[in-house]
Amino acid sequence: MKPELGVGPDDNSVLRIRRNIRATPEFLFNAWTTPEALLKWWGPRGVRCTAAEVDLQVGGAYRLANQLPDGQTVWISGVFEQVEKFRLLVFTWQVEAAGVIQKNKERVTVTFQPDRVNSAVTEVCIVHERIGDGATRATHETGWEGCLDGLEVLAERGAEIFSEPVPDH
Partner 1 sequence: MSSSRTNRRAPRTRHPDRTLDLVFGALASTTRRHILERLARGPATVGELAEPFRISSPAITRHLKVLEAAGFLTRTVEGRVHSCMLDASPIATMDVWLTQCRQHWEETLDSLEVFAAAAREENPEK
Nearer to partner 1, 55 or 133 (CB): 133
Which residues touch 35 (CB under 8 Å, ≥6 apart)? 52, 53, 54
**Judged by CB under 8 A, which of 9, 41, 99, 165 binds partner 1?**
41
**Judged by CB under 8 A, which of 53, 55, 84, 133 binds partner 1?**
133
Residue 129: Cβ within 10 Å count: 21
Closest CA to 72 of 91, 50, 98: 98
Q: Is 126 in the site for partner 1 (CB under 8 A)?
A: yes
64: helix, strand or coil:
strand
Residue 110: Cβ within 10 Å count: 19
Q: Is 114 in the site for partner 1 (CB under 8 A)?
A: no
Q: Is 144 in the site for partner 1 (CB under 8 A)?
A: yes
Q: Is 128 in the site for partner 1 (CB under 8 A)?
A: yes
Residue 64: Cβ within 10 Å count: 21
Binding site for partner 1 (CB under 8 A): 1, 3-5, 7, 11-13, 15, 17, 19, 21-24, 27-28, 31-32, 37, 40-45, 102-104, 124, 126, 128, 130, 132-133, 136-137, 139-141, 144, 148, 150-151, 153-155, 157-158, 161-162
